[in-house]
Every structure is written in structure tokens, then in C-alpha cells.
């Protein structure tokens, strides 16, 4: 079998160099075990200006089988046998996890091995209008959708989406999914000085259309790496053996103001990272 762990940038200081990495501490969900169905190179339909992976190596919207299901299941079972505390399982990692055509197989396999652990996914929402993706994600306990934009200009500026993806198609896909999804759906937004308070009303209107259970207001706490290093997945250690660029964040007071205004405009449950 191919050695999926061969990585010239690998450092022993990080516990997340494999297909299954962590658990890492999540400010919302406790000890989160990451599942990376992409792995080999960073692949995503977005190339966000704040991405913890840095510049995405392959910007793509194509569904592919990136890594063997059985390899992920072996790695997962090994982590289970280690006896580590796992509060949730989160599909994320080296890009957009819904691009993995074998994601449903992975979810089913992990559910058999650990039926008691909730399974979540972090997604940019670009593929939520596809029937096969909807079927797969309906097997998850929680879907957390990224929403940083309020129109085509902000989508291009912040998320730098793959060709063919526009704001209207993104939102329509999300709404198509939410209309039939039976699990818990949340929205996650990254606020930076570049988008703070700009067209907040438009953003609020979009949130009300989606009607998520919770809205997470984030700001980039991790730097932007200037080269690809796998250990950047879930790296909260503040250790970097490569060149990085610190990103501008919003302040606690700014976050409180946004949180207050959004609650007043939408009536939704809004949570700030500063809380």
C-alpha cells in the first residue's frame, strides 16, 4: 500500500500527521478527532484568504476518491484502541471534505466502530445542492457550514471560490440541503477587519433564510502559512517550523457589537469565539 505518511515537512512535535489526527481541543465541541478524507495535497473549492492550510494547492470542485476508506478506518481503530478521550468526530483536514467521493463509506465505517460518538463535518457549502452529497451528510449528527460572504464581491474577495461558484448558487445549494436535513445545522463565519460590519444587514438576511441552530462568529486566531505543511490542520500549539503571516483579527469589543446587532436583526443564537 502507498505510504500516505511520507511527508518531507513532517515534525514529530505534532500529533496530526496521519489521516486521523488529534484529538484537538475545540472551543465549542471539546476533544475533536479530525478525519481527513483529502490528505495528499490541500484540495478545496475555496481558497480563503485566512485558511490555516495556506494557499490551496488544488482549487477544484471535482469529487474524487482521495484516500482508501480502509486506511482511514484502520487509523481510526488505532486511535480508539489508544483510549484517548474523543467527544466528537469531525470531518475536515486538508480541504473541503465533501469532495471525497467515498465520504459516505467512511462515515458508515466509523459509525460501526464507534456508534456512540457524534459525527460532525466542517464544509464550505459549495456541494450541498448535490443529491449524493445530501444523502451522505444526512448520516451526520451536525453539519457546520462556512458563510463569510454576503454577495459575489465578498465571496471573491474572502473565499476566492472555484470557477462556476457564485453567491447565488452557494446559498441555493445550502437552502436545498437545509430543506431536507434532519440533523443540527450551524453556520460559521470568519470576521476580519476586511469584512467587519460591512453589509451586516445583507449578511443577517442570508442567515435568516438559512435559519441555523447556531451562528459561530470567529476571527483568525491562527496565522496563514506561506507553504504547505500538513501539521497546520488543527494546529493550536503555536509552533511553526515554516514561514507564516499573522492575520488581522477583530477585537473582543468589535465581536460583542456584531453579536449584539446580529441577535437583534435575526433572533438567532449567536456565539462569539471571545466568549
Split the chain (275 residues) into runs of 10 and give each run's mean pLDDT. Answer: 43 57 87 94 95 92 96 95 94 95 98 98 98 98 96 94 97 98 96 79 95 94 64 54 74 93 96 87
Cβ contact 208:174 at 8 Å: no
pTM for the complete prediction? 0.87
CA distance 84 to 254: 37
Locate cell 459561530: which residue? 216
What pLDDT shows up at residue 2? 42
Cβ contact 192:248 at 8 Å: yes
- Residue 207 belongs to what H/E stretch? helix 200-210
What pLDDT shows up at residue 13? 38
What pLDDT shows up at residue 198? 67
What pLDDT shows up at residue 221? 77
User: Dmax over Cα atoms in the chain, in whole Å?
Assistant: 55
What pLDDT shows up at residue 223? 67
Cβ contact 173:96 at 8 Å: no
Residue 59 pairs with which residues in a beta bridge? 44
What ranges do the domains of the chain cover?
20-272
Radius of gyration of the chain (CA): 18
As to burial, measured by CB atoms within 10 angstroms (0-12 exposed, 13-18 middle, 19+ buried), residue 43 is buried
- The 10 Å CB-count burial string (b at 16+, else e) for 123-155 is bbbbbbbbeebbebbeebebbbbbbbbbeeebb
Cβ contact 107:50 at 8 Å: no
Pick the CATH number of 20-272 from 3.30.70.890, 3.40.605.10, 3.60.20.10, 3.20.20.70: 3.20.20.70
What pLDDT shows up at residue 243? 73
What pLDDT shows up at residue 79? 94
What pLDDT shows up at residue 17? 60
Amino acid at each position: 500500500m502507498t505510504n500516505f505518511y511520507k511527508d518531507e515537512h513532517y515534525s514529530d512535535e505534532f500529533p496530526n500527521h496521519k489521516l486521523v489526527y488529534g484529538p484537538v481541543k475545540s472551543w465549542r465541541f471539546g476533544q475533536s478527532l479530525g478525519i481527513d478524507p483529502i490528505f495528499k495535497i490541500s484540495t478545496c473549492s475555496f481558497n480563503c484568504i485566512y485558511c490555516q492550510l495556506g494557499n490551496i494547492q488544488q482549487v477544484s470542485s471535482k469529487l474524487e476518491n482521495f484516500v482508501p476508506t480502509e486506511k482511514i478506518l484502520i487509523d481510526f481503530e488505532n486511535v480508539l484502541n489508544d483510549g484517548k478521550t474523543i467527544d466528537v468526530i469531525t470531518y475536515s483536514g486538508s480541504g473541503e471534505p465533501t469532495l471525497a467521493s467515498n465520504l459516505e463509506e467512511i462515515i458508515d465505517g466509523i459509525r460501526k466502530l464507534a456508534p456512540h460518538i457524534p459525527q460532525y463535518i466542517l464544509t464550505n457549502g459549495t456541494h450541498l445542492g448535490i443529491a449524493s452529497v445530501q444523502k451522505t451528510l444526512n448520516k451526520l449528527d451536525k453539519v457546520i457550514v462556512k458563510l463569510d460572504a454576503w454577495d459575489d464581491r465578498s465571496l471573491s474577495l474572502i473565499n476566492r471560490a472555484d470557477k462556476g461558484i457564485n453567491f447565488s448558487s452557494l446559498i441555493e445549494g445550502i437552502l436545498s440541503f437545509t430543506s431536507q436535513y434532519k440533523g443540527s445545522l450551524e453556520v460559521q463565519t470568519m470576521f476580519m477587519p476586511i469584512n467587519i460590519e460591512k453589509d451586516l444587514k445583507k449578511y443577517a438576511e442570508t442567515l435568516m433564510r438559512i435559519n441555523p441552530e447556531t451562528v459561530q462568529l470567529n476571527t483568525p486566531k491562527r496565522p496563514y502559512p506561506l507553504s504547505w505543511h500538513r501539521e497546520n490542520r488543527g494546529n493550536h500549539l503555536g509552533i511553526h517550523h515554516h514561514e507564516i503571516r499573522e492575520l488581522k483579527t477583530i477585537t473582543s469589543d468589535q465581536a460583542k457589537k456584531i453579536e449584539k446587532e446580529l441577535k437583534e436583526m435575526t433572533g438567532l443564537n449567536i456565539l462569539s469565539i471571545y466568549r
